[in-house]
């Protein structure tokens, strides 16, 4: 019984040594990325001149900080998928294979940070 | 800190191996120093032995548990930090990163850092408890008188004696009138 107790103590101690020996330390907190959230587009409007064809138009406060825009589309109004990347203008025509419920536009800033999406439902 | 912990654990291992070794007075003292409460129990001071032994066991259990918790926090922090650094690399390569992802990862990384910092302090507190317990145990062992069976007053007769007979022992009790 005494030997068993010492064996258990030995195993527990070995486990403790293992845990302590293999431990890493929390260190080197990284520097900030030094970027800021980009602005949002304003006055996003969607028109539907023909079946499955959509015209999108929006405004931007300071175009100087915009690298490009991204356009997203959604069939149900909730799940969005990217429809067009690297859009350089503030209006775009979009031909979808299915009827689209809503569009979304985001700004990718000149620091390559993508901002919050602004959405508009298809009328 | 790690070498101290390793040394402490190594001393514990040596302590657990005590019964297998030849035990002299000095060696016995060393093992008693390594296992708080052992020496006190040998001298019959069971309350002190239970307190010292209990605090030591609780200290080791707490140290073990807090170290595991700390390791988990560090792993979580490292994951968030890796994600953060991958964002930095993406941005420098012109690959867009969502502002929402940057904010979320930054918050998680800060939280896991704070948690790791807190758990690190808890773990160190357990190390401190063990260090104090071992120190108190050592002081108690060094200051305690060795139990030799000698009387403090040589003129006083012992109230009870054990004598050896040809085929056993005999207990004598002296009664004074």
Chain A residue closest in CA terms to B20: A3
SS3 category, B16: helix
Give pLDDT, residue B20. 46
DSSP structure string for B30-98? HHHHHSTTHHHHHTT-HHHHHHHHHHHHHHHHHHHHHHHHHHHHHHHHHHHHHHHHHHHHHHHTT--EE
- For residue A93, the distance in angstroms to the closest alpha carbon of chain B comes to 23
**A88-119 burial by CB neighbour count: b if 16+ within 10 A, else e?**
eebebebeeeeebebbbbbbbbebbbbbebbe
Nearest-CB residue to B91 (from A23, A30, A111): A111
pLDDT tens digits along A54-91: 999 999 999 999 999 999 999 988 899 998 899 999 99
Chain A residue closest in CA terms to B110: A29
Mean pLDDT value across chain A: 87
- Hey, are the CB atoms on B94 and A116 less than 8 Å from each other? no
pLDDT tens digits along B69-105: 999 999 999 999 999 999 999 999 999 999 999 999 9
Nearest-CB residue to A9 (from B16, B73, B102): B16
Chain B residue closest in CA terms to A112: B96
ipTM of the complex model: 0.81
Could you tell me which residue, B147 or A97, shows the higher pLDDT?
A97
The yes-or-no verdict on residue A46 having pLDDT over 70 is yes
Give me the mean pLDDT over the A23-35 stretch. Answer: 88
pLDDT band at B125 (very low <50, low <70, confident <90, very high): very high
Nearest-CB residue to A13 (from B9, B73, B103): B9
- Hey, are the CB atoms on A23 and B94 less than 8 Å from each other? no
């Amino acid at each position: 019984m005494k030997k068993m107790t010492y064996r258990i103590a030995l195993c527990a101690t070995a486990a403790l040594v293992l845990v302590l020996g293999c431990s890493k330390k929390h260190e080197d907190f990284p520097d900030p990325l030094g970027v800021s959230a980009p602005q949002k587009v304003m006055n996003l409007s969607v028109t539907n001149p023909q079946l499955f064809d959509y015209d999108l138009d929006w405004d931007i406060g300071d175009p100087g900080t915009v690298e490009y825009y991204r356009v997203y589309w959604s069939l149900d109004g909730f799940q969005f998928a990217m429809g067009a990347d690297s859009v350089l203008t503030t209006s775009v025509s979009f031909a979808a294979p299915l009827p689209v419920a809503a569009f979304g536009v985001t700004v990718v800033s000149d620091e390559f940070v993508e901002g919050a999406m602004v959405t508009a439902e298809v009328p | 800190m790690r070498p101290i912990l390793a040394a402490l654990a190594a001393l514990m291992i040596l302590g657990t191996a005590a019964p297998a070794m030849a035990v002299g007075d000095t060696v016995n003292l060393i093992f008693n120093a390594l296992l708080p409460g052992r020496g006190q129990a040998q001298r019959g001071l069971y309350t002190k032995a239970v307190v010292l032994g209990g605090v030591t066991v609780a200290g080791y259990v707490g140290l073990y548990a807090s170290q595991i918790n700390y390791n988990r926090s560090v792993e979580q922090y490292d994951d968030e930090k890796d994600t953060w650094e991958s964002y930095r690399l993406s941005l420098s390569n012109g690959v867009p990163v969502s502002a929402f992802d940057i904010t979320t990862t930054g918050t998680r990384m800060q939280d896991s850092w704070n948690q790791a910092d807190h758990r690190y302090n808890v773990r160190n507190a357990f190390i401190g408890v063990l260090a104090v317990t071992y120190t108190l145990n050592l002081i108690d062992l060094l200051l305690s008188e060795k139990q030799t069976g000698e009387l403090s007053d040589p003129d006083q007769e012992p109230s009870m004696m054990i004598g050896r007979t040809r085929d056993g022992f005999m207990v004598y009790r002296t009664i004074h009138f």
